Chain A
Amino acid sequence: MGIKTNSEKFFSVVRSRSVVKPGLKLWIWLSKANILGWFLLLIGGVMMVFPFIWMISTSFKPAPETVAFPPTILPKQWTWSNYLDAFNRIDIPRLYLNTAFITIVRLIITLYTSLLLGYVFAKFQFWGRNVLFIIILATMIIPFEVYMIPLYVMMVDFKLGNTYMALALPTLFSAYCIFMVRQFMYSIPSELVDAARIDGAGEFTIFHQIVIPLAQPVMVTLGAFLFMWNWHDFLWPLIILTDSTKYVFSVGLATFLGENLNSYGVLMAGSTLATLPILIVFLTLQKYVIGGIALSGMK
């Protein structure tokens, strides 16, 4: 990040002028010291983080303290009882295992198909390529609610209701990920692929041993996205899974909420446990996630 930002360039220009209007001077000072900026960001930041603090704090409070007035931000008395309760009343290990299993299976498959198709669309010329690409991209604008009913009927007709197969099938490919991989693939020199081809490597060997290792950055970004989307996925599992032993975390928690509207200590423990994996993944890979988001606004 050796490049100056625009505002830095801007201020270096301003500083080189001898006569500056007083109003501008104040604005520059405020912006430079960033006191106003930091102050606003601090207030906003507290609002952003507060629900998490409240969630974790409530989950460690004994029941009387959760309803106490005035509210305490941090528990006066820390207790694990909400977590013990949550483990007793919700089958947390099973929810974790189910969600982790289905999330990771879907992630790996989608990532693989996206890399494959992104690579093919970027690096090969063939009849109908652009039309096909647009047909695939166009599916991004169809809201899931529009095709979920026939999808559900189809799954039931194929006797796939209440199976992980049905849960995973509709997301084996992702138009968004294919698009992102394709954009990335343009930055890989075709010469690398051609050289391997001249050496007599097969197409799949080239893909697995040359293209995939080069695609690490986009894989990490999309992998993080896919993990989050799959972990949060709610509507489709809610419809397709009927057996509580197959529930994923989101559906399990929502069902528990439906039955225990007011056990907020336990609910907060459940919410904390449901959010924890996402937090860990995000904090580990934040650089890639935020970089990926910033890219999506560019044309």
Chain B
Amino acid sequence: MQASNRLRSIFRVKGLRKAELNFILITIIPAVIFYAVLRYYPLATSFYMSLHDWQLMRDHQFFIGLKNYFTILSDRTFLRAIQNTVLFAFTTSIITTILGLLVAITMNPIRRGGSVVRLIYFLPNITAGVGIFVVWRWLYHPQIGFFNQILRLIGEQRINFLGSPQWALKSIIIMAVWGAVGYYAIILVAALRNIPAMYYEAAIVDGGNGFQIARYITIPLISPVLTFVFITSLIGSFNVFMPVYILTRGGPLDSTQVIAYQIYVYAFQRLWMGMASAMAFVLFVMVMTLTVVQLRLRKSDEESLA
């Protein structure tokens, strides 16, 4: 009782009645417990585990300092995974942003039937799950997949999309772009519709042509949203897991090995959880860096507008 009174006196702000105070405490406390126990505590534990030779089903875990980090950062497969993750994330995001902008620009003027067009472009994003990735696996089949049937039909050599090191990552990128374009196009259409008409009017009065209008008005004005789209896509792509798990399992010859998949393999197949946690922390640092960059960019945007 004493403690709860003290708690109330800390939280008391002028004009807050007892009933409201109780309501706030009842709603906030479960949330605080949830975020402490199921987010921040595991995050800290993850770092703690990364400093140990930590294996599941063992009573004592051995502290080994930064050794896990040295081991993984000199492991060829993991370095390959980092390289592939960065390559995947950047390529996917660049292509998605450019294609998304093109789709948005063509989609924007359409009034009648616009919702149907948006629906169709958004379909891949909403349905992207195990089911659809299995379909892509079938489309990419080395002999009888649809793409290879078409290549055969036009007399080209078959391509072993998922089975050859040159093609496997590209194939996954194509699928990822397919799944993401519609989503970002919708965000960009909303941004395009926010540009005030007076800018266009001024450009017409000054005799600007269509290309110039796109170059000097449309693109600069939606560039904050373009950056947002690019970095959001980048952050989202850094923990790519499901496509790799369903399509290639990291192969062939580690050509589609990515960080998230390596974490899964080390933690839940080899049960070397210490090393897997170190990998998770490497991923965390990369994603954090990107997030900080995004926040900085957003801040400088706001300053330049003000």
Contacts and interface: CB of A to CB of B under 8 A. Distances in A.
A254 B130 contact: yes
B197 A275 contact: no
Please report whether the interface of chain A is mostly helix, strand, loop or mixed according to DSSP: helix
B27 to A, nearest CB: 5
A43 B10 CA distance: 62
B146 A54 contact: yes
Interface string B97-130: 0000011001111110001011111111011111
Contacts of A189: none
The main secondary structure of chain B at its interface with chain A is helix
Contact of A34 (B19, B109, B235): B109
Nearest to A6: B197
Given A49-B123, A124-B24, A293 B39 contact: no
A47 B196 CA distance: 33
Contact of B119 (A13, A147, A286, A296): A286
A173 B32 CA distance: 10
A45 B38 contact: no
A58 B138 contact: yes
Interface stretch (A74-82, A137-145, A213-221): A137-145
A132 B138 contact: no
B297 interface: no
A297 B228 contact: yes
Nearest to A251: B130
Given A145-B239, A293-B187, A234 B130 contact: yes
B15 to A, nearest CB: 8
Given A234-B242, A253-B131, 8 more contacts: A5-B108, A24-B210, A38-B110, A69-B152, A120-B28, A124-B24, A203-B22, A274-B129
22 contacts: A8-B109, A10-B204, A31-B210, A34-B109, A54-B146, A120-B28, A126-B21, A143-B239, A143-B283, A144-B239, A149-B267, A150-B49, A151-B42, A152-B267, A154-B42, A170-B38, A173-B34, A203-B23, A231-B129, A234-B129, A271-B132, A297-B225
